[in-house]
Amino acid sequence: MGLPPRGAIWRVLVTGGAGFIGSRLVRRIETEWENAQVTVVDDFRSGNFKNLEGFRGDLIAEDISRLEMRAFFKPKDFDAIFHLASITDTRVADQKQMCLDNIEGFRNLLEFAQGTRTPITYASSAATYGIDARVNAETDPRKPANVYGFSKAQLENLAMRTLLKPEHAGWAVNAVRYFNVYGPGEAHKGPMASMIYQLYRQMKAGNRPRVFKQGEQTRDFVHVDDVVQCTLQAMAGGKPGVFNGGSGAARSFNDVIALLNKALGTGLEPDYIDNPFAFFQPFTQADLTRSRHELGYEPQYTLDKGVAEYVAWLEKQAC
């Protein structure tokens, strides 16, 4: 579809817009398109009103999986839909609740938007790849190790089945598989905030950072501003499909601790503990070939730059 020129009116619906990534997306849209008309739907189970400081749009405080969309909107009310609402706690073991909220919320949106074929970009996850010790491309098998990853895989299935219908030909419904996102605006997530934030908090308090033995597990840590950029580019590309949203690099938890020590001016040694989670991924890394070639996505943050800037931001908030 292409994004609108500066100053143009852009009517946008963002579900999960009070959450970590969703609120950053809302802020970006309202900053770059002064005449954007943004509507947020969020039930605040994993969002926070502080993330929407300065928000000038409309807020619907509802669960998207149970919301009667047409009681509030008409499909033609929006030029674009970003769907980030989800149960984001990957530890949730209630399979019915996880699938009901995540899958049916997306189905509700698809049914609402199908008549006008309003473009939809939605959040998927690297958790769909499961425990797979390789650099993952979008065409790799999906082998989710928990029900959260399973629910995200079902969103992708639902989108694919919907787009196979002849009347939906040309409808731009696409997913961005988020890898391990960190950055400003995640503190409200508590235990589900990134490990970078968790380790920062431990070290800031003067405690040895606790990580699973021996800290050599690696992750594709990606800054929130990079995944927001990838999400916007996926919408702008106007192509149906699935795209990886990562940094394209894998770094260990020991690396993170070293970078935090550098940023904080500390010398705390890791405290290695046993891993109690069977679904823990020992390695994640995004193959960005498709995202680069089809979307023009290029991450702006290395882990070194991202951690340094994030710690500086956190320290400023504490003043």
**Do 164 and 288 fall into the same domain?**
yes
195-204 helix and 253-264 helix, angle to the nearest 10 degrees: 40
Whether 5 is covered by a domain: the verdict is: no
Average the pLDDT over 283-301 and give the result.
97
**Do 207 and 267 fall into the same domain?**
yes
**Do 117 and 199 fall into the same domain?**
no
59 membership: H or E segment, kind and range: strand 58-60
The pLDDT-based confidence of 35 (bands split at 50, 70, 90) is confident
Q: Are 78 and 119 contacting, i.e. CB atoms less than 8 angstroms apart?
A: no
**Do 156 and 16 fall into the same domain?**
yes
**Do 53 and 33 fall into the same domain?**
yes
**Alpha-carbon gap, residue 57 to 72, rounded angstroms:** 14
**Do 16 and 33 fall into the same domain?**
yes
pLDDT at residue 1, rounded to an integer: 58
The string of pLDDT tens digits covering residues 95-106 is 999 999 999 999
Active site residues: 148, 189
Whether 3 is covered by a domain: the verdict is: no
Does pLDDT of 293 surpass 80? yes
Chain centroid to Cα 32, Å, comes to 20
pLDDT at residue 88, rounded to an integer: 84
**Do 148 and 295 fall into the same domain?**
yes
Average the pLDDT over 131-148 and give the result.
92
**How distant, in Å, are the alpha carbons of 43, 204, 213 from that of 85?**
9, 31, 33
Range of the domain at 188: 182-218+250-275+307-318
Q: What is the CATH number of the domain that holds 256?
A: 3.90.25.10
Exposed/middle/buried for 80, CB within 10 Å: 0-12, 13-18, 19+? buried
**Do 195 and 241 fall into the same domain?**
no
b/e sequence 20-49, b meaning 16+ C-beta within 10 Å: bbbbbbbbbbbeebeebbbbbbbbeebbbe
What is the pTM (predicted TM-score) of this model? 0.94
**Do 27 and 70 fall into the same domain?**
yes
Q: Give 239 or 133, the one with higher predicted confidence.
A: 239
Whether 289 is covered by a domain: the verdict is: yes
The pLDDT-based confidence of 6 (bands split at 50, 70, 90) is low
The string of pLDDT tens digits covering residues 12-33 is 999 999 999 999 999 999 998 8
Least confident of 23-32, 89-98, 118-127, 256-265: 89-98
